[in-house]
Chain A
């Protein structure tokens, strides 16, 4: 008999969704979306690893995963929605050349997109988000306000944030506040 029942629940289940701010005829300036939770691996290269980036890129292609830079000799591997990364195969392929940490349950992904997405992010983050300086595909580990985030530009007007799970709700609220001036539509993962 257990006194406490553990219930699996999305980190942003209790987040505020819907529209806020002034949304004009062109629609919301910012669309905020909670992304479905997926496998997520942190990779740290061994000092003497050879051609690791090429091998990681091949692994990512094979696993249908996305490889993102996370600082010097560090990457994040994000599994496709609905499938799990084959940790045994990845570990076997990399051997002692990289340290792996499974962060699937420790991180939450949030999408922020729309014509004013960069303007909203720029209020809380010091990275130069001009497309010349931070083009699609570029990633950065940085701070948004006081919260550490991994930021990636997905497209000209689309970004993805990866945040520690316990900060996700706080970050979501911050993003709503930063975006309200542009008109924001906040969507749950199920709406995607």
Chain B
């Protein structure tokens, strides 16, 4: 259930405390990359069926950015890690 999320800093908290930003796997283009690449990076998104890595912000708690691995069909959560501490 995605209605509860285990924050690595705060423990189990309700989804109301979080803000979802979206895809956490995007790679920022180089500053001089062509405009089409920047347009894709800013505007175009996949809508995957299955496991998805997303940026979530614990707005109502520790205010850290987290990377949540979520199944878009079942809403199961596989992992939650601090975005600043990813290997």
Contact = CB atoms under 8 A, between A and B. Distances in A.
A71 B61 contact: yes
A142 B82 contact: no
Interface string A64-81: 000000011010000000
Contact of B16 (A74, A128, A143): A143
B60 A141 contact: yes
Given A71-B62, A72-B62, A74-B62, A126 B14 contact: yes
B64 A142 contact: no
Contacts of A72: 9, 62, 64, 82
Interface residues of B, number: 13
Contacts of B12: 128
A141 B59 CA distance: 10
A72 B12 CA distance: 15
| Secondary structure of the A contact surface, majority rule | strand
Interface in A145-161: 148
Contacts of B10: 71, 140-142
Nearest to B60: A143
B9 A148 contact: no
A126 B82 CA distance: 21
B37 interface: no
A142 B17 contact: yes
Interface in A88-146: 126, 128, 140-143
Interface of B: 9-10, 12-14, 16-17, 60-64, 82
Given A71-B64, A141-B63, A143-B16, 9 more contacts: A71-B62, A72-B62, A72-B82, A126-B14, A140-B61, A141-B60, A142-B17, A142-B60, A143-B60
